[in-house]
Amino acid sequence: MLHVDKVDSLLAEKIQITASGLNKFQCYKFYLKLHYEYGNYHSYCIIQSDEFGNIDLRKSKPIRGTYDEIDEMGLFLSIQPSQEHRYGAYLRNHLANPFYYTLELISESEEVIDRINLIKRWCHPLVSQINIAEPEFHGTIFKPPGPGPFPCIIDVPGATGNLSNGHASVLSASGFLVYTFAYYDYKDLPKKLQDVDVEVFSKHIRFVQSLPYCSGKIGLYGASLGGTIACFLATKHPELSAVVSLNGPEAFYKDTGSMKENGKTMECETYNHKSTTLINGIVKQKDNFLELFNKLKPETSIKWDTISKNIPFRIVSAIDDWLLCGVTNGLNMRNHLQKTGHFVEMDFIFCGHMVFVPYYPFQAFAYNKYVRVSLGFGGDCTISSKTKETLWQRNIEFFKKYLGIPPNVPDYPRKSVIFVPDSAKSKM
């Protein structure tokens, strides 16, 4: 009854879902469950079969469901937390483990007619994962098959600072050598962001430059505070070949977004908590950051004029960002770069602040242990998720243009039958 063209696929790959042998002109439910140990995620759509008893999600518009337009990946785009998922919890996958799903076909009488398990892999099976664990130096290399050299992307962590392989693992499937690292709140590293000296980031860049399979063409990718750090590092490393900042604030700020430089606390403007907006218990910080960055002075700003003119930038800003005013912040960064003679590609996207890898479940808000509140990210589930599909490809194309086109990673032997391991199933 159910058919999926690839039950074993990479995370960013699209798959085709169809059903046949059905009663004609009857409604059927497609129910998708993402297995997660701390509470499952799910989505569904109800679609009427055609005159031949067939349904093709590439052609069929849902009568109702968690998405409402024709889209072959609609079930993945609209997947949401189930009731067993803890309020404000965040789906964590720092180790880039595969996602396991169960897809069910259900009749009008609520009978499960067919069921198929699926796997979406964050890391391409032919990509080597090399863990780096030295005193006060921790990272992960994702190396494509072959001797190289390969163009390289460094995934700069954001405000959490610990080792998370998510972005890096998915980027590496495009053929790039990708490196990511931890810089605080991890093993023997500083416990607080404010105790980190920015020199540590340069150490990681120099480490990547020393790798025999790195081509020397290195781009930085950073989201949120990682985007700010990536722009700052461009002032220190004229040899960089490209920078992508995704929802990165235009400057560092006290007290939760600043570090040390040369052993001294950075000069930053201070974040004013008094202008915070609280909506149904969720913090909206947009006005706070507007106020903060309106006070920027040369000594509290990134030194845009010291960045090499040879480094192209791609600035991505979300229109419905609840943390930043995405339009103002993005335009400010673009204007700084254009005034100093840099090439900048600007991309305003229909998302909130939280923009991760394709088909990662939408996150409207989450509890933040560092500030001890639930932070709102903004955005709409299906619209944001759909935007991530095309955004991911545009980011890849930008890196290919300025770092060079990497070799294609060969296909891997794909499983035809998937079993969901107990470790992936919900314990809730």
Q: What residues are labeled active site?
A: 224, 321, 353
Helix (H, G, I), strand (E, B) or coil at 325: coil
> Does a cis peptide bond (omega within 30 degrees of 0) precede residue 255?
yes
Residue 18, judged by CB atoms within 10 A of its CB (0-12, 13-18, 19+), counts as: middle
Chain position carrying tokens 């930043």? 324
Considering only CA atoms, which of 155, 147, 153 is closest in space to residue 177? 153
The DSSP secondary structure of 49-76, one letter per residue, reads: --TTS-EETTTPPPSEES--S--TTHHH
d(CA 94, CA 228): 21
The pair phi, psi for residue 110, each rounded to 5°, is 70, 20
Other Cβ atoms closer than 10 A to 215: 17
CA 31 to chain CA centroid, nearest Å:
25
Helix (H, G, I), strand (E, B) or coil at 362: coil
Residue 359, judged by CB atoms within 10 A of its CB (0-12, 13-18, 19+), counts as: buried
Residue pair 175/144 in contact by the 8 Å Cβ criterion: yes
Structure tokens at 131: 């863990």
Q: Where are the beta strands (DSSP E) in 171-281?
A: 177-181, 214-223, 242-246, 253-254, 260-261, 264-265, 269-270, 277-279
d(CA 306, CA 200): 20
Sign of CA dihedral 183, 331, 339, 342: positive
d(CA 338, CA 336): 6
d(CA 55, CA 47): 7
**Close Cβ partners of 288 (under 8 Å, ≥ 6 residues apart):** 271, 272, 273, 275, 276
d(CA 422, CA 195): 40
